Chains A and B, each alone.
Chain A
């Protein structure tokens, strides 16, 4: 039996600084995963990931990440690696946790 589809968002690293970014429904990249567009099925996820071929000037290495969603918005990334990417390292207050108010890079 096919495994049940887990809601996904598209993530990548910003070309200039390397920070984690997320693709929004306005086709822009946000540093905040809460703003990401969620994909409810495999086709939608594949289509959205393919669309990032046009974003080469802004991002590096787009891929899909599993999220929990509520009311059509992502509320939590499921894998611990992805959770770390939303904050920054644990040993210094650097990365996203340092700039948690900045949004919209593209």
Chain B
């Protein structure tokens, strides 16, 4: 895990102390809101519907037990006893008071964390595969590259006022779990024919009101060229990106309007310049970063007790099937802890749950945790022999839902329960859907499915990428929900297609039930998952289920 050096520490402390003064000035009236707004946003402090919201970056979604315990402490001392984990591997506190924010930031600095660049038109938190450093399919741990990017982008003097926000994601596996094709820049670590490790560079992906699948701008970029190449992309964007229209200011629009060929030409030309002028990080610095991410000292162990527990406890067996992924070491496992209990808010964890997770991570997961963009928490390195005990501890903390990848494992943004930008609520929709399919006892029967909900067109809930996507809007003075079908978030990334007219809040749940009912009727077997049925049959039979003809409604 990366630990701040003296420079990082000093920089973060300085920023906290500056912001403390700025808050005081706002409170004593020497700064107007207009002047203060930019300053608070630079420090991750938003003003939402009912309160301030503090967004804290969890770099590449990786954290240790001390950091998790600090979140619990902040939640109890200055907030309302819980935190919300987001699709960008951040945590948000929904109830901080302005006068306490500097103290919160100081507490975060104690554990090498901050809220810098979690808002504004700058490079945001660099996100990564949540199985980094643990998964069996990984070519290389992407976190040293992500950390290098974090250091490069933090307080980068040229890129604090970009045309719009800028999001980078990186994966080290061929199986993309970081949604790299939906980012301003997506990076995939791969090997070329000579066996050298480098990056496939993808640009111009994004969701929001104009969703685009990213384009590959470089099939293979040598590792040593990462920063100069990214710098070249940012320079081209900084110069060419539109500043006249907020809705057309992201790099995806520049790529779309200019064409990927011309953008590639500009980037490659700028890159030539960067190659000679860019002051690359020293080998010593890179080695120091890499050292921080060396694999922990994995132990040898046998795990007869794990197999025995699986045959004895069907509940544990289901948990293993749904929530456990293969680890690079045969006697270890990756545990995904669901923050999607039936009827609860996706992505929320109480301070008590955070402490339990921190303790488990410290005792059983080499002190490491990860946050997934799917709003769950990962224990990346758990020995199989410890899984029965870990499961019991999770159960006692109400953290053992065996629903990863099922219909209740919903991504949902905060929506109009909190967010000032939202046009409708998302949380009650997620809660209703998970409750309903639990009542019907159909969740495991339905099997793998991705359902994603956003409360506005900005798409923080990734609705475009849901096999079923739900977008909350306002229509005629009430909340109205559009359904999209056929989205996908992996390397086959696809943007869902709108099924038809939207549904009122009351109509939505029965519509989803009809849609799932149609799938269960139409699939060839349990092995054919929802998305496969949709691909095989096309959208028509599903659209018919969503919008039954009047006659058949009357008969029913």
Contacts and interface: CB of A to CB of B under 8 A. Distances in A.
Of A60, A61, A79, chain B has the most CB atoms within 10 Å of the CB of A60
A19 B52 CA distance: 8
Contact of B33 (A16, A61, A88): A61
B479 interface: yes
A90 B428 contact: yes
A90 to B, nearest CB: 5
B417 A96 contact: no
A17 B477 contact: no
B239 to A, nearest CB: 33
B188 interface: no
A80 B33 contact: no
Contacts of B425: 84, 90
B478 A80 contact: yes
Contacts of A16: 27, 97-99
A57 interface: yes
A45 interface: no
A87 to B, nearest CB: 9
Interface string A46-85: 0000000000110011000000000000000011110011
Given A90-B417, A91-B417, A85 B50 contact: yes
B417 A17 contact: no
A54 to B, nearest CB: 11
A11 to B, nearest CB: 11
B477 to A, nearest CB: 7
Interface in B7-26: 26
B427 interface: yes
A81 B427 contact: no
A91 B416 CA distance: 11
A21 to B, nearest CB: 11
B98 A17 contact: yes
Contacts of B88: none
Interface string B471-493: 00010011100000000000000
A74 to B, nearest CB: 18
B49 interface: yes
Interface residues of A, number: 25
Interface in B446-478: 474, 477-478
Given A16-B98, A56-B29, A91 B52 contact: no
A84 B477 CA distance: 13
Nearest to B343: A91
Given A19-B50, A85-B49, A94 B26 contact: no
A18 B427 contact: no
A40 interface: no
B80 interface: yes
Of B49, B80, B427, chain A has the most CB atoms within 10 Å of the CB of B49
Chain A contact residues: over half helix, strand or loop, or mixed?
loop
By size class, the interface of chain B is 20 to 34
A15 interface: yes
B187 to A, nearest CB: 35
Contacts of B29: 56-57
B542 interface: no
B499 to A, nearest CB: 24
B50 A91 contact: no
Contacts of A81: 49, 416
A95 B79 CA distance: 12
A17 B348 CA distance: 21
Contacts of B97: 16-18
B431 interface: yes
B427 A15 contact: no
Nearest to A97: B50
Contacts of B52: 17-18
A11 B80 CA distance: 25
Given A84-B417, A90-B425, A91-B428, A18 B48 contact: yes
A5 interface: no
Given A15-B33, A94-B95, 13 more contacts: A16-B27, A17-B51, A17-B52, A18-B51, A19-B51, A56-B29, A81-B416, A84-B416, A89-B50, A89-B418, A90-B425, A91-B427, A95-B50
Interface of B: 26-27, 29, 32-33, 47-52, 80, 94-95, 97-99, 345, 348, 416-418, 425, 427-428, 431, 474, 477-479
27 contacts: A13-B47, A15-B98, A16-B97, A16-B98, A17-B52, A18-B47, A18-B50, A19-B51, A56-B29, A56-B33, A60-B47, A61-B33, A78-B477, A79-B477, A81-B416, A84-B416, A84-B417, A88-B50, A89-B94, A89-B417, A90-B425, A90-B428, A91-B345, A94-B50, A94-B80, A95-B50, A96-B50
Question: Which 4 A-B pairs rank lowest in CB-CB distance, beginning with the nearest?
Answer: A89-B417, A18-B51, A95-B50, A18-B52
